[in-house]
Amino acid sequence: MTDHRDDLPGDLPGDPPGDTVRTSDDDWFLRAAARVGDLASPFYREERQRDVWNEASAVGLQLVLWLGTAAAAAMVWIGGRAALPYALTMFAVVGVVSGVTLSYARRLGVDVEAPARVFTPRLVPYLLLLAAFLLGLVHAVPGTLPNSFLVGAAAGTGFAVAALLVSARARRRSATP
């Protein structure tokens, strides 16, 4: 990891050593993320302020994921075929935001996709929103997608919900003495 404080816009000259931005000289993605997120800002020096901001950002990210997916689902159900380009764009934005977030954490060695963290009951409503979006795609363009897609989407969602609930129950049982 290299300190890129002098390279980033908005840095103050003479910042104290030890305030590093987590980048690697050979990792363009982390350098770009540090610039976009303004990670060298003096704002991040105070630990509590940084922690509260990180928690607030996590809440905001979850809200974007939920509302973006809900909006995309509503668009295809309400607007039909005419709303399809907008719904797909919204869904793509949600996907890109999720992908960038996961990639950033992964590149810094955080396993955010560990089953114990991902497969929790709170994921069930999101999977239902996702299923509503997928089924809405079939609704928006009838006859374009085969019925097997509809059956597969419904079965896959049902399987995922069941697996999440079984996993949560098993974790609760193993946690109690």
Claim to verify: residue 166 and residue 79 sit in the same structural domain = yes
81 with 148, same domain: the answer is: yes
Residues 116 and 142 grouped into a single domain: yes
* Number of domains forming the structure of the chain: 2
Q: Give the phi and the psi of residue 135 in degrees, each rounded to 5.
A: -65, -35
Q: What is the pLDDT of residues 48-63, one digit of tens each?
A: 888 888 899 889 999 9
Position 116 scores a pLDDT of 64
* Burial class of residue 23, CB neighbours in 10 A (0-12, 13-18, 19+): buried
Determine contact, residues 15/42, Cβ cutoff 8 Å: yes
Do 63 and 21 belong together in one domain?
no
- pLDDT surpasses 50 at 27: yes
Token pair, residue 152, equals 């597969």
Whether residue 40 is found in the same domain as residue 50 = no
